[in-house]
């Protein structure tokens, strides 16, 4: 990466201290820039810090925890990130919540700062519409777990300037990620191809097929490293349902019709590994 690009993002603010926000903060801090993590709740910030400590220790050794943690600041005040040259939003996948964050970022950050959303499916054009700088807004979709997964999907909205996309691509490479560029349509590239596969696997279960057989079939017959139903459980059945519904609504195409079994599972609280039960039992 050109040296000037790394200098242009000497400070990055991450809004959202959940699993994704903490992971994003970690990989950026490891690369050198200062990081400000913002969330409304002190307990969420404390949980994010604990997650980073555990992850850094496991991946890089205990001696690296303090040096990396020393470059990260945790705060409940959005304005504490006002000197950042880049903001990455990583809050829940609700348009109203994301737009509220972007309004605040647009107000607090310098007008030359770039704004990115970690959304996995929502419209970058719609997110950027509440700002005074839509040409400086892009998607920067990381994958979970962020420290382990190499890919970042850079999403170019209809108003995103080519210069903005190029700067974000360079920054993604600087922090050690592989980059693909996607256009701003529901699901972008990865989820557009992947989520219908997981949805179809759920239909197979609903029709009476054994989850283990489905997963083994895809692993052995298509050389997938993990079966679609194990992957669905790891992602979260609620997240899967939300994403396939977004594709269905966004394209108005019956090929994205959500599997009714996913809806019943969410209603029953069977959300996958995080609740102990999904297509498999983790109790």
Q: What is the CA radius of gyration of the chain?
A: 19
**Hey, what's the torsion of the CAs at 38, 40, 44, 48, to 10 degrees?**
0
Contacts of 184 (CB under 8 A, 6+ apart): 123, 124, 125, 139, 155, 156, 157, 158, 160
- Count of CB atoms situated within 10 Å of the CB of 15: 25
Q: What is the separation of C-alpha 218 from the centre of its chain, rounded to a whole number of angstroms?
A: 25
CA distances, 91 to each of 39, 137, 211, 251, 273 (Å) = 9, 16, 32, 24, 21
Side-chain half-sphere exposure of 228, counting CA atoms within 13 A: 23
Question: Where in the sequence numbering do the catalytic residues fall?
Answer: 120, 141, 153, 191
Q: What is residue 161's DSSP assignment?
A: -
273 burial level (CB within 10 Å; 0-12, 13-18, 19+): middle
């Amino acid at each position: 990466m050109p040296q000037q690009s790394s200098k242009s993002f000497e400070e990055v603010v991450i809004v959202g201290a959940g699993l994704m926000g903490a992971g994003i903060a970690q990989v950026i801090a490891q690369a050198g820039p200062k990081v400000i993590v913002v969330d409304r709740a002190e307990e969420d910030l404390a949980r994010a810090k604990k997650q980073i400590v555990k992850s850094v220790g496991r991946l890089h050794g205990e001696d690296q925890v303090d040096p990396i943690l020393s470059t990260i600041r945790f705060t409940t005040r959005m304005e504490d990130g006002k000197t950042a040259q880049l903001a990455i939003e990583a809050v829940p996948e609700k348009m109203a919540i994301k737009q509220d964050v972007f309004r605040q970022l647009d107000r607090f950050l310098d007008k030359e700062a770039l704004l990115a959303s970690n959304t996995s499916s929502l419209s970058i054009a719609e997110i950027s519409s509440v700002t005074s700088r839509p040409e400086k807004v892009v998607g920067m979709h990381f994958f979970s777990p962020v420290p382990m997964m190499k890919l970042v999907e850079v999403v170019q909205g209809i108003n995103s300037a080519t210069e903005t996309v190029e700067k974000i691509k360079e920054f993604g490479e600087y922090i050690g990620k592989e980059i693909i560029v996607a256009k701003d349509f529901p699901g972008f590239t990865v989820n557009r191809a992947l989520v219908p596969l997981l949805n179809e696997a759920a239909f197979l279960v609903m029709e009476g097929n054994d989850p283990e057989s489905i997963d083994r079939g895809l692993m052995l017959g298509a050389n997938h490293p993990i079966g679609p139903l194990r992957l669905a459980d790891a992602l979260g059945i609620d997240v899967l349902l939300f994403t396939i519904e977004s594709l269905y609504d966004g394209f108005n195409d019956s090929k994205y019709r959500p599997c009714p079994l996913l809806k019943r599972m969410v209603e029953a609280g069977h959300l996958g590994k995080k609740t102990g039960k999904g297509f498999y039992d983790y109790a």
